[in-house]
Amino acid sequence: MNVAGYVPLGFLLIAAFRPRVRGAAAFALAVGGAAALSLVLEAGQSYLPVRVANNLDVLCNVGGAALGALLGLRLAPLIAEGPFERWRAHAFLAGAGIDFGLVLVALWLFIQLNPAALLFGAGDLRDFLAPPEGRARRPEFFVSIEAFTTTANLVAIALLLSALVAPGRPVRAMLVGLVLAALAVKTAAFAILMRAENVLAWLTYGAQIGLAVGIASALAAVAAPRTARLALAAVLLMAATVLVNLAPPNPYLAASLKVWQQGHFLNFNGLTWLVSALWPFIALGYLIYLAAGRRNSVG
């Protein structure tokens, strides 16, 4: 697991150094950077009573980074100058700002790996805020919350994606592909982390309603003017985030999560929760950035 965890880091460092640093110099910087990170983390763990700092972990981390760096030396040029780059230039607007938006879309797919979140839900800060549980609610109350959360977040990510797509490109087909990818990730997460019979436990009645309404609404909303799309995405994103944090804990979700044994995935699930908690606030800032850039270009 340590080796596998650091392979992407080595690969991405090689890709990040291009085109300024290449070859052996890039490999040395990537491995050295990964080694420094690993040493800092292991040193920090020595102050945690439940963790044990281990030289073998450092060795495995560096080995994984070296493997990823070797793959990066081989494959990064193909990604940066090959069909992937041509597809990116053909399908999306140009610029580093648009690349940041594509990273946000990828992170939205990543947070679907968290089985404790509602479908497409994000921004849950209740573990920090620790609100009271409140009185008991009828099942229909939680169905409506999940339906609205799913719908609002789905439409918001669709509008964000539409702001990145180049004019004349099939944004609706890309949206359907993104939703299918998100559902595949969600299903895979439940298949890996839960028992086999719970693989579709995420597909609740509220999620089904939210999916149906959200897809129909998103396909219609992407036809709106760009400024309206950015504003609507920001409103829906914040409305869904506020609702997630004000809603009482769902006892039905808690019951389904009793079969979830985190085990070696404890730290990974903590990462997905952290990214999920921060994602809507970063996305809101990015939507403001896009809107501000649009105003400046018009002015």
Query: In terms of C-beta density within 10 A (0-12 exposed, 13-18 middle, 19 or more buried), how is residue 62 classed?
Result: buried
- Select the more confidently predicted residue: 173 or 113: 173
Q: Are residues 195 and 164 in the same domain?
A: yes
Q: Are residues 75 and 99 in the same domain?
A: no
Q: Are residues 146 and 68 in the same domain?
A: no
Mean pLDDT, all residues of the chain: 83
Asked which of 23-37, 51-65, 97-111 is least confident by mean pLDDT, the reply is 51-65
How far is residue 203's CA from residue 14's CA, in Å, rounded to a whole number? 39
How far is residue 287's CA from residue 63's CA, in Å, rounded to a whole number? 39
Band the pLDDT of 257: cuts 50, 70, 90. low
Judge whether residue 158 has pLDDT over 80: yes
> Which residues form the domain of 190?
95-298
| Rounded mean pLDDT, 99-124 | 86
- Select the more confidently predicted residue: 229 or 126: 229
- Select the more confidently predicted residue: 138 or 198: 138
Q: Are residues 174 and 290 in the same domain?
A: yes
- pLDDT of 296 reads 47
- Select the more confidently predicted residue: 208 or 261: 208
Judge whether residue 6 has pLDDT over 80: yes
- pLDDT of 197 reads 66
Structural domain contains residue 108: yes
Q: Are residues 203 and 286 in the same domain?
A: yes
Band the pLDDT of 123: cuts 50, 70, 90. confident
Judge whether residue 74 has pLDDT over 90: no
- pLDDT of 297 reads 46
| Rounded mean pLDDT, 134-161 | 86
Residues 6+ apart with CB under 8 A from 252: 139, 142, 204
Q: Are residues 75 and 142 in the same domain?
A: no
Tell me the range of 192-206, 254-268, 272-286 where mean pLDDT is highest. Answer: 272-286
Which residue, 52, 81, 110, sits at the end of a domain?
A: 81
Q: Are residues 106 and 202 in the same domain?
A: yes
- pLDDT of 139 reads 74
The tens digit of pLDDT for each residue in 39-56 reads 988 888 777 776 677 788
| Rounded mean pLDDT, 73-96 | 77
Structural domain contains residue 88: no
Residues 6+ apart with CB under 8 A from 229: 159, 162, 163, 221, 222
